[in-house]
Amino acid sequence: MGDLSHYESRTGTLSCTPKEVFDFVTDIRNFEQFIPQDSVTNWQSARDTCSFTVSMVGTVSVRLEKQEPHNKVIFNGDALKKNDFSLILNINNGLTNSAEVKVLLEAELNPMLKMMAKKPIIQFLEILITEMEKFKGWRNIIKETPLP
């Protein structure tokens, strides 16, 4: 068992309201929009879970754990075959019809893994917040397909 390590992104300003970003990210299927295609393989998702493969880590599974409407979304995940991280999106009002988002990652890491994982985690958070800032389709939420 390792210590709980905390990593956080810079605060990103998104071209949507807090409600729009909340509605969008609480459906995990939409997260594929923010993940660089060359960084994961085997992406599979449902409304509140996803899994994918990351080289050198293996299969990562993520599930929606908790939501505070328009303010916070918490995902829990496991990688390396144990439940060991949370991804937290803190959502705030920005100026004139925008949202400000900060992404936090908390993980239980032993000292060696912490040292090796720090740079890739920080890079991942930067990519995630940058992709969210560039994204313009916040109102294009995946709709449920009715069963025949």
Residue 130 has pLDDT above 90, yes or no: yes
pLDDT of residue 108: 86
In a domain, 141, yes or no: no
Residue 144 has pLDDT above 60, yes or no: no
* Integer CA distances (angstroms), 48 to 10, 51, 130, 133, in order: 25, 11, 23, 23
pLDDT of residue 143: 57
In a domain, 108, yes or no: yes
Measured between alpha carbons, how far is 109 from 89 in angstroms, rounded to an integer? 20
**How does pLDDT run across 14-44, given as a tens digit for each residue?**
999 999 999 999 999 998 888 877 888 899 9
In a domain, 147, yes or no: no
How many distinct structural domains can be found in the chain?
1
118: CATH: 3.30.530.20
In a domain, 55, yes or no: yes
pLDDT of residue 39: 80
In a domain, 143, yes or no: no
* Integer CA distances (angstroms), 14 to 6, 46, 106, 123, 135, in order: 23, 24, 23, 19, 8
**How does pLDDT run across 56-100, given as a tens digit for each residue?**
778 899 999 999 999 999 999 998 767 689 999 999 998 888 999
Contact yes or no for 55/79 (Cβ under 8 A): no
pLDDT of residue 120: 86
Contact yes or no for 106/89 (Cβ under 8 A): no
| Tokens at 102, concatenated | 């900060």
Measured between alpha carbons, how far is 10 from 122 in angstroms, rounded to an integer? 10
Residue 5 has pLDDT above 70, yes or no: yes
Measured between alpha carbons, how far is 60 from 80 in angstroms, rounded to an integer? 8
Measured between alpha carbons, how far is 130 from 148 in angstroms, rounded to an integer? 39
In a domain, 42, yes or no: yes
In a domain, 76, yes or no: yes
Structural domain boundaries enclosing 10: 3-134
In a domain, 106, yes or no: yes
| Tokens at 69, concatenated | 């409407």
